[in-house]
Each structure stands twice: as structure tokens, then as C-alpha cells.
Structure 1
Amino acid sequence: MARLFLHGRMKMQRHKFFFFCALALCVFSQLHNYKALHHMPILSELYASSVNALSFLWRGKGNPSNNAHPERRPLPGPVPFDTGLWEPEAYREDQGNAEDLWRKEQPDSGNVNRMTVTLPDPKGPLEELHKRSFHLSDDPTQFFVRTKSGAYCFIEGTEMTYLKDHLGQKVQEPGEGQRKILHAHQEEPKSAQEKTAWGKRLVKCMCRPGWHGPHCGIPTTVQHSNLPTKARLTLREVPRRVINAININHEFDLLHARFHELADAVDLFLVCESNFTAYGNSKPLHFLRLLLNGTYNYVHHKILYVFLDHFPKGGQQNGWIADDYLRTFLSRDGMSRVQGARPDDVFLINDADEIPAREGILFLKLYDGWTEPVSIHMRKSLYGFFWRQTGTLEVLSVCTVAMLFTVYNGDGILLRRREYYSMPGFRNYQRESGHILVQWSIGSPVHYAGWHCSWCFRPEGISQKLISAQNGDFPRWGDYVEKRDLNYIKGLIRTGGWFDGSLGEYPPTDPKEPMYAPKYLLKYFQLYRYILDNPYA
């Protein structure tokens, strides 16, 4: 009898043990599911010590606690604007050890071609542009104004009729044409009442059409996006810095459009030029010439020139090797020369014919709470903005600097692919940051957040693109002499046809429609008429 009693008791204890194990597993699973559904760092305190591991990405100096959480730092005092293309030598920091990810040696390209090119005199006033560093500074622009009633409003998104600053003075209205961010006096809240207005209980701002949220700082392209954390967006006290990386061949008119569209949202443009085409033929450094002759003086203080002086091994046989390597070299060489970047700064990589609208980029700069990586829905067009294609081009283009290095190993081409969840650093980055990585898109198929203008050149430019194209996107139309004929190309522009003889279906367009083209091009319509209005129709 006693033996049966002991056996039953042991059996009950085993059942209790398994019951409590199952209960603990259930609770842990529910916590993880809650975190995944709401994208909230529930276990952030457990990860706090791990977050410091990202500090190796910081180039700034000072209080480590401030570095770990830049969004919690007080607003800085006035910062002078940069006056030149590059920071003085005194700003350069210690190079650090060889293991620093920021200064990781470039992968062996196995280059098969090199050619001698004329670069700026190393002893001249411009020195070697392709070797200089760039020091990122906080953006001194005042994007918001505190009204007399206590509301804290995004100036561009607020109705000027109702907008007065804290002194009761009416804030000047934006100028026509360009999307300009206004400058108004901004003070950090001092009283408890002001801090409440800064935080959750706000006197509402009167939003203009196209802007949303209590501060009128959320554009329609975000409001109507698939961002899963819209309810938890908060303003940053210190804006992120935005780095836009692009490769350039001969898309110089679109480059002007990009610079004018994004100049007040982007803090640094990494522009990579090679003395080889994507096919492997040598070519002149046209962008460098324009940069040196003053063509881009209006934005030259935000440009870091990246020079690719070799062609990757195997790139002539397999054009995709060359195509990928352009972005790999751009991001790794360019970012290795950027100083002062923080883990939560924004890295944006585009092709030269992809121009994001500034509203979405400003949102990433000014708000916390969005997830990553981020893609952008762009209006698609062919030969010019007049041939609008159906749907949108959704390009994965954005992540934080921390994700770029921790997940993508500093390689921009990996960001443009949709395989971040299979990257070796994916789980590690989630664990250290305390955030679930969820891809989302700025814009939607009916709310354009940028423009993709493919083959948008004059006939001579299209012929040049045919010759320069990589040896991988078959059929390679540049191999056919008749396809490079200017009269044949003019016929394609006139009809919207393709090189294989097919005709696309295009909905009607009007230059007055929203998001027809970047505002800079529309402002100088006659100058850029060849891509705004069909010249052969």
C-alpha cells in the first residue's frame, strides 16, 4: 500500500513539473507573440547591455550614455552650415584598429582592367577628392515651431493662416515651386505644461492637405502606407542624418532633379563614378568634370565623390557581377570615409533614375517608431514622364546605419535584395536592438513616393546607355547596330514602343497631375521639356 502511495506521489510530482514547464513555455511564447504583433521592445531592458555593442559604429566622442540613445539627448545649440565640400583635416578622427567595420579593407575585386585617368592634383587646392573624408554634423534646420497656443507644429505641413510662433508672430508662408523647409524659432519646453504639449497631450495643429498627425509632420505617403507602427510614432529631438548613395553614368539632368528634391532632407550624397562602363569599356569622368567646373556648386558641400578605378573580374562575361559590384564598392568605400555617423542615421541607396520624394525622407529623418528595412513605391515611366507605366516600382532602399553594417556587412547591393531575414547578422541585430525587423513601404500603388524614369534621355543619351549597358540583361540591345540608330530611337520615344517591337499600354497623363515629375523639372519646364512632354508626338 505504501509503495503504491509513493508511486502515485512521484507520478503527481512529475505531472506538476511538466505542467509548470508547459505553463512557462506558454507565457514566454505569448510574450514573444505580443512583441511581434505590436513591434514593441518588451524585453528592451534585458537587451540594454547588448545595445552598447553597436557603439563601435559611432564615430563621435563624448558621453557614452548619450551615444547609446541619441534621441534622448537635449537639442543642440546652433550649428554653422558647412561652407565647403569637405571638412578640414582637423575634423578627422583617429583611424582606429584594422578590425573596425567602418574601415574594413575592400574585398579583392580581382580587377582585370585599369586605366590612367586625370584626377585633381594631390598638391592642389582640391587635393584628391576621391580620398577625402566627410564629417557628418547635426542638421541645424528648424523644422518645427511652437505656436502661441502651445502646439508644436511641422511648419511645412501646417496651415499658415493659423500658424503663429510662441511670440505671437505669424510664420512666413513657404515660397512657390520648390518644397522649402521654413526656418522658425524653436525652443525646448521648460515648464511642465509645455512638456505635456511636447509629448502626448497636444493642442492640435491645423494640417495642410497631404499632411497628418498631431504635429502635421506625417505625409500622406506614410499615412496611407503599410507601416505597422503608425500609432507609436514619436518626434525626435535631434533629427537623424540621411546619407543617399548613388552610382552615376550620364544621368545628369535627373541628378539635378535629385539634388533639388532632396537637398534639405539629405545630409550627404555619396556619388560614385567609374572610368569604366557597366560593360567594361573605358569612359571619361564626366561627373568629376562637372563637379570641378562648378555645375553643382549649390550642393557641393554635401557631396562625397567616390571613384571606382577598376572593373571586377568576371564582369565582362557576367554583367550582373559588374552591376552588383558598383553598389558594393559605392557603399563600402563611401561609408568608410564618413565620420561622425550614428547607428540610427539613415542610409538610402538608389539608382540614378530613382528619385525619392523628399516628404518620405523627411519623415524618416524626423520621426522615431518606424521599422526597417524600408522600400519606396515609385511612379514608373519610360523615355520621359509622359509615358507613365501602370503600377509602381517598389524598391527596397532604406535602412539604418546599424542595420547596414550588422546585417548587410556594409554592402549596399544586399540591402536592395529582399533576403535580410536569411543574412547571418539578422537575428543578432534583432536581439541587440530589441526590435522586430519588419519591412514596409513608403507610399502605395496609388500614392507615389518618388519617380523612376527609365531610359529618360535624349536619343543620343539612349544610344549611349545601350552601348554602356552590362553584359547580363539579355537581349543586350546595344549589340544591334540598328537599335542604336537615332531615328529608330526617336520612333520609340514617339510611340512608347520597346526594342523588341512591342507597344506598351499607357494611361493618359497630364503635367498638372500630382506627382507627375519632380518639382524642379516642372519649374524649368522648357529646359527639360524633352522628358516632360513627348517631343516627337
Structure 2
Amino acid sequence: MKMRRHKLFLTLCMAGLCLISFLHFLKALSYVTFPRELASLSPNLVSSFFWNNAPVTPQVSPEPGGPEFLRTPLYSHSPLLQPLSPSRASEELHRAEFVLPEDTAEYFVRTKAGGVCFKPGTKMLEKPPVVRPEERSDGAASGRPARKPLSASGTKRRKWVECVCLPGWHGPSCGVPTVVQYSNLPTKDRLAPRETPRRVINAINVNHEFDLLDVRFHELGDVVDTFVVCESNFTAYGEPRPLKFREMLLNGSFDYIRHKVLYVFLDHFPLGGRQDGWIADDYLRTFLTRDGISRLRNLRPDDVFIIDDADEIPARDGVLFLKLYDGWTEPFAFHMRKSLYGFFWKQPGTLEVVSGCTVGMLQAVYASDGIRLRRREYYTMPGFRQYENSTGHILVQWSLGSPLHFAGWHCSWCFTPEGIYFKLVSAQNGDFPRWGDYEDKRDLNYIRELIRTGGWFDGTTQEYPPADPKEQMYAPKYLLKHYERFHYLLENPYRRAEVAG
């Protein structure tokens, strides 16, 4: 009798667990456009409902030249420049707090018929009346009112409810950019404009990538609410270095954006970072995120957090979408156009960089640690189930853009020859072989030849597809607008000299 009771109890427990699992399965199923999954016969369909790394939407099979997933990204480093003067060094930028302001800009307009249209993406807001020439002339000649069409008789002219989208914009409100329209976002049918825009926090570690930093500030300055920029007085190799970015903030070089910059200062080198360079690389992002978030005030859980390397610049339209729309899932990635030495050496495929989520997820799931976000391990974090239950949202990673629609730019080793030299000698002790240890690799003539041919430090050369400066996502707009200043990034300076000779 007692054995029967135990068996009955175990049976009921198993049935209860099965019921709970089935309900959770149905909840997750609601986030997927199921007929589309069946139509594509995706091999991910079953496995995507278990908490692995695969997105729940169909994915193209990996092919040569396809997207790379950034887990231990290339780190860029700083030149050894002159230190700050004592008078400037006394200013404690790294202790200041930053109060996030409300974004009061009007991005949408409501039509008289009740439609909501995104201003930059909408061609026209109401349909103009159609009056035939003969009606206009008849009415004017006879002195009588022009005859109205039968469909409009007795009623007022009907307003045009739907927004007419400009090229590159989609959705009922014309606020969904192409990089989202052609992404693998599984909840496109649930997107809706927000009443109050989110604030966007963009976190970056910087060393000597000051031209790319300037481009980032101009490209994203009107959609990002604060740039959290971390600088250390040590290189990634552990050698002392001056605080050049801090000096530039104080001397007015970035006055146009300083009101949006939160400066983070890392004044120590992590234990073990000299022996294992990835310890130093990881710690930079951890310190950047935790110190920066702790000094932000008026922060909301639904604000957007994006962490980038200095050579990664997300597209403005994608960031603006995250700011203005509800209905997308998290965490999110960006498909970025890959370039080497400059935008003229376009590499095949895209670089898929997981770099963003809401502040709520950053704090509850990743413990405010940016390197955990970059590693895409949310499903191994102890707090992710609790976060799902508290928010009512299933965590589903997705990517803005696609291998055919770039949602940003990744320009690796994009410096002058002197800048590449500084990157070599400051590189971490973990990305082996460490080319900065070889004297011949540090020679400026050797570096110029690499830029000319698109070769790599190991002696190999690649056959890169020709890059057309007129292509849609060749380079950020600010670069193209200031061609003379950034010509060394936009066209191969040594190939040009070769042709001229």
C-alpha cells in the first residue's frame, strides 16, 4: 500500500513538471512565427526551443566568408604620448556623475485620421484630393460648384491613414529601418512606437583610436544619450601610458560632444594580465561597465545599453530604432561590414557582434558585466530565468542586419602606419603570435606594404573583393563628408601613389 502511494506521488510530480514545461514551451512558441519556420524547414526549429546559442528564426548554413562571431575581439591600443600638465591633471573627470536627460524630441507625428508616422521615414501624411481638370473648368465657367465624384458625395474627404514610407523605411509607421526589416527578429509583427523614447548608453574602451572615436560621436551623437568612455594609464600589455583622451577632453578637442561623455578612468592593471592578456582584455570591459553604470543617474530598466570596441561603429538607423520602438527581444547583435587597414579593403562576409540589451537585463542577468554580454552566455547566467519571469518576456538573441544588409562597420587596424606601430607595441600578451615582439613587423615601410597589398603579418595575402565607395554602406556618412581629412581610411594611399607613378 505504501509503495503504491509513493508511485502515485511520483507520477503526480512528473505530470506536474511536464505540464509546467509544456506551458513554458507554449509561451516561447508565441515568440516565433511558426508557419515561417515550417516553410523554411529550418534545422534549428526544435533545437532553438532549448536554451542554446541558436536563434529561434531560420539561419543560413555557415559558408566560407560568412559571419564571424566575436568572442575574444581584437583590442586596440594607445600611443605613448606626452602626459597631462599638473594643472589639468587635478580635474577629476572620473568621479563625476551623469544625469541622463529625457529625450523630448518629436520623432513621430499623429495624423488627423489617427495614424502615427515616423517623420524621417515618411514621404507624405495624407492623400491629396483628386480633382479632374474638366470638373475644375466646368465649375469655373458656369459659376456653379464643381461636380464631386459619387464616392465622395455627402461625405467629407477621407484622410490617408497609412504612412507612405521613404526608401529604406518600413512598417505601418515607416519607422522600421532596412537593417531591422531584413533581420532575424522573430517579433516583427509586435513592433510598436513608444510614447517615451528610451535613453541609449554607448560604452567604449579607447586607446589611440581618436579618429574613429570622432566619427562615432558625429555618427551617433544625436541618438545616443551618453557615451561612457574608459581610458587606462596602462596599455593592454601592462606598460604605463599617458591619458591622451582625457587631455583632449580638457583642451577642447571634443567640446561639441563633451556634454554627453562620461569619462571612466582605470588606474590599475589586473593581476595576472601580463601573463594572460585575455585577463586584461576582459577586465577592461568589466570595469568600464560597472564603473560607468554606477555613476549614471535617472537610469531606467528599459534604457538601452550598447558596448563596442573602438573600431566597431553601429549604424545610426538601427540604434534609433532600439530607442523608439517596443516589441524587440534581447540581447541583440549587429552584422557589421568588415574592413582591414581602411574601408577600401572590404573583407568577405560580416562580423556579428553581440553588444546590446536593456539596462534591466544587463543588471539582472549579466551582473553589470559587459564582457558577459559580449560572450553571449545569457542562458548560463543564474538570473536569466528570474528575469524572464519578472518581465514576462522570453530572452531570444537576434541580430540587426544580415550578411547582405550591414548594420554597422568594423574597421580593424584602421590607422596610419604610425598608428599601427603603436597598436603593435601596446598589444596584449594573449593574441599570439604577438607581432609587436618582432622588430621587422614594426618597421614602418613593412607596415606601409601591408596596407598597400592588404596582406597580414604572417606573410599571407587575401583576394579581397573590390570595394566601391558609392556602395550604400561603404563607410559612415561623416567620413565621406570629410573626405580630405579621412582620405587615408577611404582610399588606399599607397595604391594611389603606385598608380600615379
- Whether TM exceeds 0.5 here: the answer is yes
Return the letter of the residue paired with 1:298. Answer: Y
Mark the runs of 5 or more structure 2 residues left unpaired by the alignment. 33-81, 128-158, 496-501
Aligned counterpart, 2:236: 278
Aligned residue in 2 for 1:39: 31
* CA pair 536-443 structure 1, distance change in 2 beyond 3 A: same
The correspondence for 1:317, drawn from 266, 275, 289, is 275
2: distance between equivalents of 1:437 and 1:482? Answer: 49
1:144: which partner in 2?
108
Question: Displacement, 1:252?
Answer: 0.7
Structure 2 distance, partners of 1:276, 1:22, is: 56
Answer yes or no: is the 8 Å Cα contact 1:120–1:128 preserved in 2: no
User: Aligned to 1:310, what secondary structure does the other structure show?
Assistant: coil
Distance in 1 between residues matched to 2:450 and 2:211, nearest whole Å:
21
Out of 155, 162, 173, the position equivalent to 2:119 is 155
Structure 1 CA distance, aligned partners of 2:113 and 2:392? 37
- Tell me the SS of whatever aligns to 2:344: coil
1:505 is displaced (CA, Å) by 2.3
Among residues 359, 370, 377, which one is paired with 2:317 in the alignment? 359
Distance 1:356 1:443 in 2: 10
What is the DSSP-based 3-state SS (H/G/I as helix, E as strand, rest coil) of the residue aligned with 1:311?
coil
Distance 1:323 1:20, change over 3 A: closer
Give the 3-state SS of the residue equivalent to 2:351 in structure 1. strand
Letter in 1 for 2:344: F
Asked if the contact 1:222–1:443 (Cα under 8 Å) also holds between the matched residues in 2, the reply is yes
Paired with 1:290 and 1:379, the residues of 2 have a C-alpha distance of 29
Query: 1:51 maps to what in 2?
Result: none
The one of 528, 531, 534 aligned to 2:486: 528
Q: 1:470 to 1:437 in 2, by over 3 A?
A: same
Aligned to 1:47: none
Q: Is the 8 A contact 2:88 2:250 kept in 1?
A: no
User: Per-residue deviation at 1:146?
Assistant: 2.2
In structure 2, the CA distance between the partners of 1:19 and 1:485, relative to structure 1 (3 Å rule), is closer
Contact 2:126 2:161 in 1 (8 A): no
Whether 2:191 is the aligned partner of 1:215: answer: no
The equivalent of 2:345 in structure 1 is: 387
The aligned amino acid for 1:297 is D
Letter in 2 for 1:375: A
Q: Distance in 1 between matches of 2:17 and 2:431?
A: 51
CA offset digits 1:168-215 (Å, max 9, x no partner): xxxxxxxxxxxxxxxxxxxxxxxxxxxxxxxxx992111011110000
Q: How does 1:219-230 map to 2 (within 5 A)?
A: 219-230=177-188
Partner of 1:348, secondary structure, is strand
- Paired amino acid for 1:147: T
Closer, same or farther in 2 for the Cα pair 1:163/1:470, shift >3 Å? same
Single out whichever of 503-512 and 382-391 deviates more from structure 2: 503-512
Residues 14-53 of structure 1 mapped to structure 2, 5 A cutoff:
28-39=20-31
Aligned to 2:259: 301
Deviations 1:100-148 (A, max 9, x none): xxxxxxxxxxxxxxxx975886998xx4111000011211111112234
Deviation at 1:17, TM superposition (A): 9.9
- 1:291 is displaced (CA, Å) by 0.9
Code of the residue aligned with 1:37 in structure 2: it is L
TM-score (normalised: structure 2): 0.78
Distance 1:149 1:503, change over 3 A: same
1:480 aligns with 2:438: yes
| Aligned twin of 2:357 | 399
Deviations 1:256-275 (A, max 9, x none): 11111111111010000111
Aligned pairs for 1:89-488 (under 5 A) are: 118=84, 127-159=91-123, 162-163=124-125, 203-488=161-446
**Aligned twin of 1:175:** none
Deviation for aligned residue 1:27: 5.3
Q: Which moved more, 1:366-375 or 1:18-27?
A: 18-27
Q: How many residues are paired up?
A: 413
Q: Deviations over 1:245-298 (max 9, x none)?
A: 000000011111111111111101000011111111111111111111111111
Q: Output the TM-score relative to the length of structure 1.
A: 0.73
Q: Is the 8 A contact 2:125 2:160 kept in 1?
A: no
Structure 1 match to 2:149: none
2:413 maps to a residue whose letter is W
Where do 1:503-522 residues align within 5 Å? 503-522=461-480
The CA distance in 1 between the partners of 2:284 and 2:11, in whole Å, is: 57
- Output one character per residue of 1:444-481: Cα deviation in whole Å (capped at 9) or x when no partner: 11110000000000000000100111000000000011
RMSD (CA atoms): 2.6
Equivalent-residue separation in structure 2 for 1:26 and 1:316 (angstroms): 50
Q: Which moved more, 1:458-467 or 1:139-148?
A: 139-148
Judge which range, 388-397 or 287-296, deviates more: 287-296
Q: Secondary structure of 2:409's match?
A: strand
For 1:206, give the aligned amino acid. Answer: V
